[in-house]
Structure 1
Amino acid sequence: MKLIHFDSTGGASGDMILGSLISLGADIAILKKHISAMLPHEEFDIELTKTVRNGISGIVTDVKIGHSHSHGRSFSDIKKMIETSALPAETKEMSIHVFRLLAEAEAKIHGSTPEKIHFHEVGAVDSIIDIIGSCLAFELLGAEAITFSPLPLGHGGTIKCQHGIYPLPAPATVELLKGVPVYQVDEPFETVTPTGAALLTGLPCGKKAADGKIISSSYSFGHRELNTRPNLLRATVFETDASPEAEHDSCIVLETNIDDISPEIIGALYGKLLDAGALDVFTIPVQMKKQRPGFLLTVLCHEDRKKTLQEIIFRESSTFGIREKTVSRRILARRYEDIETPFGKIKIKIGSMENEDITFSPEMEDCMKLSEKSGKPLKEVYESAILSFKNKSANS
């Protein structure tokens, strides 16, 4: 598997992460194409400039914005914009997850809910480009996870935000980095931004730093001249052997029995739970007290999503209690390949075990778009993708 490790000597911001991934080989033309389609009324450019600081050669990334037609967006606005875009399915999921983390952090700080949060700095065009561009670049590189070193936090200074002047680190950064190893540095500057914190905690995370072969590396500088260290983020790509640890995972199972709520409400609850980061949601018919028919609602999630999902279940259903347990699961190593079909390009998800490909599946969203574009039945497009992939595999 391919893993990217970030060494944060002098901080982490959205543009530093984006630049490091582009320097590792993510195609900037593809990034610009997708972002332009999402922001058709915005003029922008992504510029990488080579530089040398403290004897190290690297790049500085500038997201150039023309006249912006929007100075802030709500989480719901951004989520809808991503969902209706032509981004790959995995990039959509990662991008929404990163923005959701930011919305939850802001909501907790301001005593609100994620749905009511209106982004200002993060809703600006350059931050949207940083986040969506980084998630897409991560997928283009074929990486499966990231790890990162303890993060250096500047202190003793202040930062001006939409709601006033705050001490460093910014409140949203502190909220996002709860449980993350950090250390304070003698720098009165914002070394780790909320966008940087959200990307590092929101992209798929490995359990530990990689052991394996170093494939490539990049050095990405920020825009500040710090007092004690370079404003530097290094990204290193490791190729690791598939190991039993990589194929095993643990997750939380949330369960509750319900017999007094409309199926229409449960349908809406499904969507909200999945949008909030649930791995899976399903119901099973059960017989409950007093011979009443009901159902068992089951939600699978990672530990960091548990509290949010429990709150949604309590608010949106009629239950008075939720059971929870931790279970282990075995998962296949996954990668994605694009396959050419008579209808166009379709992404294929491939599952492997012990370095052997044992299953695959066409991305349904790609098939649906090509079905609509060509006027052909979805089944025909889907089967074409399967046949094209099998032919390619047989000839390789």
Structure 2
Amino acid sequence: MSKIIYLQCPTGISGDMCLGALVSLGVPIEYLTTKLNALGIENEYRLRMELVHRNGQEATKLHVDLIEHHHHDDDTHKKHKHHQEHHHRRHLPEIEAMILGAKLPGRAEKWSLAVFRQLAVAEGAVHGIAPEKVHFHEVGAVDAIVDIVGTCLCLDWLDISSNEQDLPLLYCSPLPTGGGTVRAAHGLMAVPVPAVLKLWEMRGCPVYSNGIDKELVTPTGAAIATTLVQQFISPPAMTIKQIGLGAGNLNLTIPNILQAWLGLTSDSNQSNQTKTSPYIEKISVLETQIDDLNPQAIGFLYDALFEVGALDVFTQAIGMKKSRPAILLTVICNLDKCDRIQEVLFRETTTLGIRTSIQERTTLKREMQTIQTEFGSVKVKIAWQGEDMNKTITNIQPEYEDCAELARKQNIPWREVHRIALQTWHQKHNQ
């Protein structure tokens, strides 16, 4: 049995609603405060829980009260004003450093970093700048840091099961679009705001209108959902154990409450819920065009990129301005390797800018087996669909380097080694 959570969001999702719903499932405020204070923000906020009513229904409201310090002399006041503005101008590298320095539980740290990276990529795409250059404004403020990191801490404390990519078994209803306008750091904006729209686009998120013209999904809430949620679906097959209720700020025509259904599901149900897209993971895709680099550097660049964690690297021939022949260099990596990949690209190439996006990829389960052939040992990569007791092997590929090494040693064609390796594997497994 796996422990899962389903988020029912009739009035949308925000960071504080999500945190409130999870806290109402039993996460101690004292635990949250202790872990969050390790971020180095203990002098900037106080976390406070309140039971409130929304259209007659009781729900948990989490307040992040910012601590105000009153000073009388001008110099101190200026310093305090700068300190307050600093809350609203944190960049991604600073937030990542805070999270890494806090020594959070492993899964909570990984999930928090992923949510902020997703949000930075979306904000960067909206404003046409690199994710690391984004001024987070509201989402970089203390309350948003508390909401995002706090939510990840709650999911870890509740011991929600994880999938193969170590993401929580978190599911969510389709999200309402809302409407009207809202005042943000960049002025008056239409709802949904651009960052939310970009996050929905990046994830391919299902949405609908419930007729309420208010901001129902905030950037923080959208980032949490589009990063951590497995699927946006109707309630999955599960045995409900507890319901958490998180209240929003507004009083609406229907109860402004996010429901967190905590329950158990069998492994077979979990497999059925994800069989249409069974192994989905988020990856970073980095691209840059280069027209003034010695081609001899490309081979060295490939090795350097793979050394720091690139999953794949490839180039395409393109034409650029002034009719210059050039290459489009693309690197695929896990989200936590993005910064190191960028460092290598800037160090080893002549590029002046790198585009970064987060995409989803659906992968097969795979493993490496070693077989003994008449020429020597060869590693074989096996890929399959389904569970171990009912899996269908879809791809069998001997490793190129092993085949090439044996071909050189034995002075025989590479194709012959490859053929014998496949034949040996099939004979061993009676396929």
Q: How high is the TM-score relative to the length of structure 1?
A: 0.66
Matched to 2:262, the amino acid is V
CA deviation digits over 1:244-280, x for unaligned, max 9? 45695256899xxx97358699557765xx6xxxxx7
- Residue 330 of structure 1 pairs with residue 365 of structure 2: yes
**In the TM superposition, what is the alpha-carbon distance from 1:94 to its structure 2 partner?**
0.6
Select the residue among 221, 224, 245 that pairs with 1:196. Answer: 221
Select the residue among 171, 174, 185 that pairs with 2:197. Answer: 174
| Identical amino acids, percent of aligned pairs | 32
Q: Report SS of the residue matched to 1:16.
A: helix
- Residue 64 of structure 1 pairs with residue 101 of structure 2: no
Q: Report SS of the residue matched to 2:6.
A: strand
- For 1:136, the equivalent position in structure 2 comes to 153
Change (3 A) 1:282 1:192: closer
The count of aligned residue pairs is 306
- For 1:148, the equivalent position in structure 2 comes to 172
The answer to whether the 8 Å contact 1:152/1:182 transfers is: yes
- For 1:164, the equivalent position in structure 2 comes to 187
Change (3 A) 1:41 1:55: closer
**In the TM superposition, what is the alpha-carbon distance from 1:41 to its structure 2 partner?**
5.3
- For 1:239, the equivalent position in structure 2 comes to 264
- For 2:126, the equivalent position in structure 1 comes to 109
Matched to 2:212, the amino acid is E
CA deviation digits over 1:329-355, x for unaligned, max 9? 3389xxxxxxxxxxxxxxxxxxxx99x
Change (3 A) 1:48 1:309: same
Q: Report SS of the residue matched to 1:80.
A: helix
Change (3 A) 1:269 1:121: farther
CA distance in structure 1 between the aligned counterparts of 2:347 and 2:6, rounded to whole angstroms: 39
- For 1:347, the equivalent position in structure 2 comes to none
- For 2:297, the equivalent position in structure 1 comes to 260
- For 1:337, the equivalent position in structure 2 comes to none
The answer to whether the 8 Å contact 1:155/1:189 transfers is: yes
Select the residue among 119, 130, 136 that pairs with 1:119. Answer: 136
Q: Report SS of the residue matched to 2:35.
A: helix
CA deviation digits over 1:261-310, x for unaligned, max 9? 58699557765xx6xxxxx7489xxxxxxxxxxxxx995669xx9x9999
CA distance in structure 1 between the aligned counterparts of 2:362 and 2:178, rounded to whole angstroms: 39
- Residue 214 of structure 1 pairs with residue 251 of structure 2: no
CA distance in structure 1 between the aligned counterparts of 2:280 and 2:148, rounded to whole angstroms: 27
Change (3 A) 1:240 1:317: farther
Listed as ranges, the matches of 1:1-396 within 5 Å are: 1-40=2-41, 42-67=43-68, 69=84, 70-72=86-88, 73-143=90-160, 144-156=168-180, 158-178=181-201, 179-206=204-231, 208=233, 209-226=235-252, 228-243=253-268, 244-245=271-272, 249=279, 260-261=297-298, 267=304, 271=308, 281=311, 328-330=363-365
Matched to 1:170, the amino acid is V
The answer to whether the 8 Å contact 1:281/1:300 transfers is: yes
Q: Structure 1: 5+ residue runs without aligned partners? A: 275-279, 284-296, 320-324, 333-352, 355-396
Q: Report SS of the residue matched to 1:174.
A: helix
Q: Report SS of the residue matched to 1:180.
A: coil
Q: Report SS of the residue matched to 2:249.
A: coil
**In the TM superposition, what is the alpha-carbon distance from 1:328 to its structure 2 partner?**
3.9
Change (3 A) 1:190 1:266: farther
- Find the structure with the greater CA-based Rg: 2
CA distance in structure 1 between the aligned counterparts of 2:119 and 2:349, rounded to whole angstroms: 29
Matched to 1:109, the amino acid is V
Which stretch shows the higher mean deviation, 240-249 or 136-145?
A: 240-249
**In the TM superposition, what is the alpha-carbon distance from 1:71 to its structure 2 partner?**
2.4
Change (3 A) 1:331 1:61: farther
**In the TM superposition, what is the alpha-carbon distance from 1:83 to its structure 2 partner?**
1.4
The answer to whether the 8 Å contact 2:54/2:257 transfers is: no
Root-mean-square deviation (Å)? 4.0
CA distance in structure 2 between the aligned counterparts of 1:191 and 1:210, rounded to whole angstroms: 23
The answer to whether the 8 Å contact 2:92/2:131 transfers is: yes
Change (3 A) 1:165 1:95: same
The answer to whether the 8 Å contact 2:96/2:113 transfers is: yes
The answer to whether the 8 Å contact 2:87/2:140 transfers is: yes
Q: Report SS of the residue matched to 2:171.
A: strand
**In the TM superposition, what is the alpha-carbon distance from 1:182 to its structure 2 partner?**
1.1
The answer to whether the 8 Å contact 1:266/1:317 transfers is: no
Q: Report SS of the residue matched to 1:42.
A: coil
**In the TM superposition, what is the alpha-carbon distance from 1:117 to its structure 2 partner?**
0.9
The answer to whether the 8 Å contact 1:250/1:329 transfers is: no
CA distance in structure 1 between the aligned counterparts of 2:284 and 2:133, rounded to whole angstroms: 28
Change (3 A) 1:230 1:117: same
Matched to 1:175, the amino acid is K
Change (3 A) 1:177 1:299: closer
CA distance in structure 2 between the aligned counterparts of 1:96 and 1:181, rounded to whole angstroms: 24
Matched to 1:213, the amino acid is T
**In the TM superposition, what is the alpha-carbon distance from 1:51 to its structure 2 partner?**
2.5
CA deviation digits over 1:73-131, x for unaligned, max 9? 00111011111221012111111111111111111111111011111111110000000
Matched to 1:87, the amino acid is L
